[in-house]
Structure 1
């Protein structure tokens, strides 16, 4: 565990994308063409997003990923390095382009996303094993499922063998197996994902609590269920509690879940309880939705501290 004089060490195994974000008055229907407000190019992918958040919160971050041999790859790696992320384990695909996401965001901050995996689809267990030593000395290893499941399984096996905390964003949910859940210390689903994994209704808070408990019965040690404006339902050995969301005017919710997960990992690495870590991570996510873009919306540690001071004096 990280002491107070050491930066938290986070290894992220996952996807790296270029995000093309289109702002539109509303989301289109099939066959419709209409004018959008603007186009923004940025960096994304659940893995990269979580790595960037963790780095901006002061963690020492290593990223295990694959990109193409194209201009997008150069832009992505330059951006990661600007945030101080260790890119030694980012491999280049010879045949596939860098993953790309087309994101539509309407005036109500709702979004829909189309992702072309590209090089992400080639991330494999050997790539993960190349980072074995870094994983062993991490405080937390984070995985998602926008890359092949074998990469996540290998990362969690290596982490578990080294007694390193494992954290999973279970998206896409249909790829989540009991084997993976059994290696997961902290699962961070949203309502759609937990419903798909468990088959439970998520209409009420009691439904959500039952779904979270089912995850624990299937091997997950702790659950942080993100529920948008309703807050976060956390379940650990001390029981279950609801962490309310910070009230904000959302302009773009893209990447908010990744902002939460990256911040949660850093906070747990610093020794916080799950409830306290979720409270802090909720602030990070709240700040992110007040801005346009994905990684460009993620705050620094100084911004979070100023936000907390403003809340305390309000």
Structure 2
């Protein structure tokens, strides 16, 4: 069974610096990298590198960046048959600055991502029959995301909503989500709850339950996450690592979560595995280049004695 991802595809222009420039200030950085990115492409890449079949529905420009991004997806065995090349928009671009603490600021120019239409999704779904899970985010048009979720529910697929970025969230998407995986900023945007600890995370999970989403994973960064399902909850601790680049950590988490659910694991075990994948990702540069393989995750869990975070049945 495969996983379908609907989402953005970007070229990431990543500048590394010791400190962020202040408004109006010019400073010298350390180096610049041109890396494959976009939340949809990142999540599809995570699924592929973890050994699962995955197709991506998205849009790039008919330009050199678009060609490069499609090629990089194909290199890791992402099915790109439903990635369109827009003649009206340039490939999406993210301008990212990473400081010495590994934190990042990001300016996203959506470009061709805005040219992914509900009709594109409908055409793709006409040729799909084997997907068990749909994974969506909010960096493509809202109508397109909603249509994908509707079609997935008609096909009996499990729908994971990663409500990122906060600026793109539409409450209507909650109507079709089987599980939602917001971070602190996204939770605040949707509910007005500032998640600081387990108690406030539980408050948020119950808030989402009142809005119709009975399953949620409230992510608290270095403080771990709270997995809430059908009125029961469990805390999942974070894994301390030396961070190099946090870009794509949430996408790695989402892709790994989809893998766990596809394999039939419950939400808690899938979230633990996703935690290990996200932790290992931040130790490397690049939203996609830094995503670990399944073998790397297994070795990481074995070395750290984190058997509870591994999915032993995954091939």
> Cα distance, 1:252 vs. partner?
0.9
Aligned partner of 2:53 among 60, 63, 66: 60
Q: 1:267 aligns with which of 260, 263, 271?
A: 260
On the 8 A contact 2:181/2:218 being kept in 1, the answer is: yes
Of the three residues 62, 74, 84, the one matched with 1:81 is: 74
Q: Distance in 1 between matches of 2:22 and 2:294?
A: 40
1:229 and 2:222 equivalent? yes
TM-score by length of 1: 0.95
The 3-state SS of whatever aligns with 1:36 is: coil
SS in 1 for 2:113: helix
1:114 deviation in Å? 0.5
Which residue of the partner structure matches residue 193 of structure 2? 200
Question: Partner residue of 1:10?
Answer: 3
Q: Judging changes above 3 Å, is the alpha-carbon distance between structure 1 residues 81 and 304 closer, same or farther for their aligned structure 2 residues?
A: same
What is the match of residue 4 of structure 1?
none
SS of the residue corresponding to residue 190 of structure 2 reads helix
Which has the larger displacement, 169-178 or 184-193?
Answer: 169-178
Number of equivalent positions: 307
1:141-156 to 2 correspondence within 5 Å? Answer: 141-156=134-149
Q: Determine the structure 1 residue equivalent to 2:285.
A: 292
Contact 1:136 1:159 survives alignment (8 Å): no
Aligned partners of 2:187 and 2:194 also within 8 Å:
no
Residue 203 (structure 1) shift: 3.1
CA shift for structure 1 position 11: 0.4
- Decide whether the 8 Å contact of 2:193 with 2:204 is kept in 1: yes
What pairs with 1:1-314 in structure 2 (closer than 5 Å)?
8-237=1-230, 239-312=232-305
Q: Which moved more, 1:122-131 or 1:216-225?
A: 216-225
Output the TM-score relative to the length of structure 2: 0.94
- SS of the counterpart of 1:307? helix
Contact 1:186 1:224 in 2 (8 A): yes
SS in 2 for 1:49: helix
Q: CA deviation at 1:178?
A: 3.6
RMSD: 1.4
Cα gap change, 1:219/1:169 in structure 2, threshold over 3 Å: closer, same or farther?
A: same
Query: In 1, are the aligned partners of 2:52 and 2:259 still within 8 Å (CA)?
Result: yes
Contact 1:62–1:134 under 8 Å retained in 2 = no
Q: Which runs of 5+ in 1 are unaligned?
A: 1-7
Instruction: Give the secondary structure class of the aligned counterpart of 1:206.
Output: helix
Secondary structure of residue in 1 paired with 2:80: strand
State the SS of the aligned residue for 2:227.
strand
Q: Structure 2 CA distance, aligned partners of 1:37 and 1:177? A: 38
CA contact (8 A) 1:66 1:92 kept: yes
Relative to structure 1, the CA distance from residue 313 to residue 145 in structure 2 (aligned partners, 3 Å threshold; closer, same or farther) is closer
**Distance change >3 Å, CA 178–CA 20, structure 1 → 2:** closer
Structure 1 residue 82 displacement after superposition: 0.6
Indicate how the Cα distance of structure 1 residues 313 and 93 shifts in structure 2: closer, same or farther if over 3 A, else same: closer
SS at match of 2:305: helix
